[in-house]
Structures are given as structure tokens and as C-alpha cells.
Chain A
């Protein structure tokens, strides 16, 4: 075995130095293919990560439900009856649905006047529970906080502002601790939301609304209807069971058939998440296939030059066979040549791709609309491994078929006469 390798290596070295130009061109085409596949996959990966993070900015594993009308009669009640859940109904559901991560109702007051000094802004004010903050990713900027259970128990007049709204009202001033008027009642700003890129919303972007405790909302605005009921499950697979249980608990209380599909206008974000995952996977596969095809062109190039070499060297191969070369000593150098070309080309391509991706990472993403949407091309281990696998296969095949032809040469017929 060792002897075989030594012979193959020696033969390979003596043939490789004879065709530097062809080798260089072949390696360049493989490097090109590698750069293409790596950049396409890196672009896809960056896009996926960015879209995921944009999408998750609203929160995940949530069911968002708007009260609607029944479409089935229930216990003598006719169909077409609107349901009117109250906060107590949400509390009732919370006690009976311990499997949920969180459940809350949201009051909404649209186009509400928020005033600070002489500045008045009309905006959305949400009244809800403290668990809304974490589930909906309302993370406060430094020194601030979201509303907490005490605020709620004591009906404190505190407000958490979306960052855009805070900017509209306060301009360059720091809003924390300042008092503003909401519907002519004074509220203290306890927190301002950190900037986030958000691609999905219900009601409007989180950056442009204000959140106050639901008890305070009730006191200031009366006890209006709940605009929306939202719950969050621990794991996305829990969602179907949670929805069923939710209706079983609230149906009898609110007077609707738990099987009635029309009572709530439902937005199941898990379905969206799954769908988006599939779309992204499809997109990545698409990029990968295009990249692989480009790379295969490089592989075909290698195979092509190797075939030409085999043909050119038919006589030489015959001579070597006559001198006692074993089959593997004929095929080995060709396979090795194919592998070395792909290896060197692949490495060169990977290097170039890494340089490009690293260069792009220095571009500022904040404030760049294209990059905020597309994200940054990102190289990951799965991408690297997939590329290596494709390259390796290319290299082996590119060497194998020409080598097989070389080994099938009949020495007797090549040796006589010129």
C-alpha cells in the first residue's frame, strides 16, 4: 500500500509540472464555482437570519384573536351573535389554562391625545398586563422598565412608550421620569422601548404606541370592549391543543359553540413561522442548487482536461503498462490530479468568499434599508460542509472517469509503430 502511494505520487508529480497553464485555468474555474456557491449560500443564510429576527421582533408562538360573531347556534342562542369578552373572561381563562406561557387581553384607544408641554401627538394607547412586555419583546432602554404587577394593583399612572412615539413627543429630551398627559390625565414615563426591526404587527408597529396598565386604562377610559386576546404557548407544537382548550373553556362562558371556527378572528403565528421556515428552506435550496450547478461546471472542466490528457498520453500509458505499471498506478495519478485541482481551487474560492463576506460585514447595517431587509451574508458550518461535499464529489468523479478510460487502454495496440 505504501509502495503504491509512493509510485502514484511520483508519477503524479512528474505529470503535474508538465501542464501548469491548464492546471491554473482549471483551478481558476473551480475557485470561481466555489466563490459562487459560497456567496449564494451566505446570502441566503443572511437573508434567513435577518427575516427570522425581523419576524420574531413581535414575539413568537402566539395566537392573536379578535372577537367576532358566532356562525353556529348554541344552546338556543342564534348564530350571528357577536361575543363581547371582558378582562374577567381573560382572567377566567388564565386560571383554567395553566399550560399557557401567558395570556392577556388588550384594550386599545386609537388616536388618543398625548401631550407634553406644548406638543400634542395623537397615537395608540394599549392597556394590558405586565406579561405583555416580555412576550411581545418590549425591552426597555437603559434605566427604564416595563409595567409590573404593582403598577397594575395600584392602578399607577405610568406609561411605557414606543421609541418612535417617545421621539415624536419629547424630541431630543430624555422622556424617563417625565410626566405627560394622556386624555388629560398625567402619566409618568417609566420606560422607552429599545429600537427593533419589526416586520409583522397587529394594530401597528410597536414603536408608535404607548402601553399602560389595564387597571389604569379602565379607570381613565371606562371599561371598553377588549380589542384583542392574545396567548403564548411554551412550544410551537403546543398551539393546536391550546387553541382547542381555550375554546372549550371560554365557549360555555361567553355562549358560543367551542367547535365554531368563526367566533374569533385568529392569527396563529406558529403557522406563519412554519410557513416562513419552509419558504426560507426553499430559498436556501434554490441558492444551493444554483451554486452547485456552477460548481459542477468547474468539475466538468476538470474532467474535460483529464480526458484530453488521457487521450494525449495513450501511448505513454501503454508504455508504462508494458514496463509493469499496475492498474492503480495508472488510475491513481489521474484521480489524485482531479482531487488536487478541486482541493486547490476550492481553497482559493473559499478564501475569496471569506474575504468578500468579511468585507461586507464592515458595512453599517443600521439605517441601510437594503441591508435591514436582506441582512448580512453569513457563512456557517453547514454551508462549508455542504460545499466541501460537493467539491469532493466533483473532484472524485472528474478524476475517476478519465482514469477508468486510461486503465482500459490495451498496451499491445498502442506500442507498435508510430
Chain B
């Protein structure tokens, strides 16, 4: 099998939210394999199950049924702390709302996953400096997020996502809060990261961003309804 290249390997994933009175089946059997080096856009209307899928891919939640292997590890039955470690090592998150910690500097924001990953202070500094330069903010490391523009904040968030050299960068509407030009910048940065070899999974409404991906997966009502080349 060519599974050695699969970063994400989901088989028959179901997710049911039990709110007590009603059970909502958000995902009704998802099979999804993402190989190393792919740039996948996941699209679909609201309520389609995109967010649930994103939570599962990012190990923020566990599936009700089915198996999920991330980077070869079966994470479906992991404990909370094990999931935390998996998120730290294997997943880099980029959110629509940036989710930077507002009271600390850009540098410290990017440093945080390295701190959780047990990287020594000196190596942390080197790595943060390298990443900040890579996203074009080498001069702004000591600024707090509130002193940065939206596009700059998202760059810091991307630097943070890359800090632990994750298996996959998971972006949730990364351009949703940005104006067209800043959004274009971020899209450019993603394309660049992909060309440098990162595996990207982007959840988006934005078809211009989705079209930059190598593959588009469309979700509707908890099922994958289309999966193919972006050009299609």
C-alpha cells in the first residue's frame, strides 16, 4: 500500500453530537486520505460538517466511530494529554480570528508551541527568529499583536503554526477576516509554503483561495460529495 505517504488517513469517520434530547450526526462516514505535500481545500456551506471535520483532523476532538491515523498514529482513542502532544508535534493551526495571545509579543506567541514541545530556550530563539524572518516580520518580533495589522497577525499565526515543523498545517478560513490585498498576501504565503513542501489543509468559503489548492474536497450534509483536482 502506498499509505506510507499518507499524513491524514480517515476511514468511515462518524461524529455524533449528543445534546441530551437530540442526537445530531455531523459527519456520516468520511473517508479521507491526504498525502504528504498535498494542498487540500475543504469547501462546503455552513452546517455541512466542515468545522467538525476540521476539529477531528486537528485532534481537538475525537470521532464517535471510525479510525483516524495521523502521521501513522491511530489517534482515535487517545487521551486528552496524548492528543495535546499530537497537536503540538503534528498539527499547526491557523485560524480565521488569528487567535494570538494579545498580552504577549509576537515572538512569545511563536515561541509557545516550542515551549510546550520541550525545546531548549536557545533553540527556541533561533527557531522563532528564523520563522519570523521567513514570514517577513523579522523586524517586528517584539511587537504585541495589537500593534500589528490583520495580515501581519495572520503571518505571526502562520509562523506559530510552523514552529514545531508539523506534519500538516490546518487553516480554518485563514483569509476570512482580511481585506482583499492582505488576503492575497496570505494566499501567496500558503502557496509558497506548499511549494517548499508543507502539507496544507485549508477550510474555506473563499473559492479564489480554494482554487490555489491542488485538490478540492467538498462536503455537504456530513458527507464528501466531491473530491478532485482544483482545476475541475
Contacts and interface: CB of A to CB of B under 8 A. Distances in A.
Contacts of A316: 101
B101 A327 contact: no
Interface residues of A, number: 24
A415 B99 CA distance: 7
Interface in B23-50: none
Given A319-B101, A324-B116, A416 B87 contact: no
B51 interface: yes
Contact of A320 (B58, B95, B112): B112
B134 interface: no
A329 B116 contact: yes
A99 B225 CA distance: 103
A417 interface: yes
Interface stretch (B78-86, B125-133, B205-213): B78-86
A318 B87 CA distance: 13
Interface in B43-63: 51, 55, 58, 60-61
Contacts of A324: 84-89, 113, 116-117, 164
A107 to B, nearest CB: 87
What interface size band does chain B fall in? Answer: 20 to 34
B96 interface: yes
Contact of B61 (A3, A7, A18, A412): A412
A370 interface: no
Contacts of A318: 99
Interface in B86-126: 86-89, 93, 95-97, 99-101, 103-104, 108, 112-113, 115-118
B167 interface: no
A14 to B, nearest CB: 6
A1 interface: no
Contacts of B113: 323-324
Contact of B84 (A10, A319, A321): A321
Nearest to A323: B113
A279 interface: no
Residues of A contacting B: mostly: helix
B2 to A, nearest CB: 29
B103 A325 contact: no
B116 A7 contact: yes
B172 interface: yes
B155 interface: no
B14 interface: no
B123 to A, nearest CB: 14
A178 interface: no
A21 to B, nearest CB: 14
A196 interface: no
B160 interface: yes
Nearest to A10: B115
Interface string A302-343: 000000000000011011111111110100000000000000
Nearest to A15: B103
Closest 9 CB pairs of A and B: A324-B88, A412-B60, A412-B55, A324-B116, A323-B113, A326-B81, A324-B87, A319-B99, A418-B97
14 contacts: A320-B112, A321-B84, A322-B58, A323-B87, A323-B88, A324-B85, A324-B86, A324-B113, A324-B164, A326-B81, A326-B85, A415-B172, A416-B95, A417-B97
